[in-house]
Structures are given as structure tokens and as C-alpha cells.
Amino acid sequence: MEQTFHMLLYRAYHAQSNYLRPYLGEIGLEIGQPKLINYLVKYGPCRQRELANFFEIDSAAVSRMIDSLEKGGFVTRKIDEESRRSNLIALTDKGYDVQKKWQNHCQHMEEIMLNGFSKEEKICFAKYLSRAYKNFRERKEEKE
């Protein structure tokens, strides 16, 4: 089979997903939720729209993930004092705890994935992936 970039990316993504997905259930999370929790750890409480915009997913999908996270005790919704029609999504202590567990698991996955890569290769790989993403973003903006 020809090794095209899209197939290489797909296979790497699929292998990564197969490694990470079983752990989600063990810690009480569902697909897509860890990225929201990581965002909240880094940026603090925010509106649902901010999460949807950052991750380039529709608000309804974010709403479903937040509902599930709230039921699991990982996040809370607080009335936004600046705009009473909006809620701020904030992590609970349980949310912070599960994020630490997820980060440790992801770090282990990265060690497996990048086994045998030099420090310089890791830096270059990260830069290449960032540039590829940037190219897609610029293309999307041109079409808007």
C-alpha cells in the first residue's frame, strides 16, 4: 500500500485513539471530554461558546459534553456576572483530579509514540504538525 500522508496520519491517529480510548472509561470520561477539561485547567472558567470556537466544534456537541461532565461531577455551571444570559463552565476538584490522571496517561502515550526520536526530531515533528494545522486554518479563513 502506498504510504500517503493522509494514510500515515490516519494510522497514527487510530493507534493513538486505540491506546487512549479504553482509559477514558476507567476514569469516567467520554470521547471529546478530556480536551475540554484540559482547556479549563489552562484558561480557567469560560463560556460554552469559547470552548466551541477554540476546538472548532458546534455548540450543541459542546453542550452535550458539558452536560455529561456536569453529571459526572467534573464541572459546574455558574452564572456569568458579566452576562447573566450565559453560564461559565468551571472545573470541580474532581475535574482537576481526573485531568492529572489523563495528562499522565497521555504523557505515557507520547513516550511510546516518540520512542527512538531524538529531542531535535521531537521538536521538528511538533513544528511540522503545527504548520500543517496552520495551513488548514489559513485555507479555511480564505474561504470564509
Asked if residues 38 and 46 have their Cβ atoms less than 8 Å apart, the reply is no
Whole-number Å distance between alpha carbons of 62 and 138: 24
pLDDT for 2 equals 67
Rounded to whole angstroms, the Cα distance separating 63 from 119 reads 39
Q: Which class is 5-113 in CATH?
A: mainly alpha
The Cα–Cα gap between 55 and 32 comes to 10
pLDDT at residue 52 in the model: 94
Domain segments of the chain: what residues?
5-113, 116-144
Q: Which of 7-21, 31-45, 71-85, 90-104 bottoms out in mean pLDDT, i.e. has the lowest?
A: 71-85
Q: Residue 142: pLDDT above 80?
A: no
pTM of the model: 0.85
Between 78 and 89, where is the model more confident?
A: 89
Helix (H, G, I), strand (E, B) or coil at 47: strand
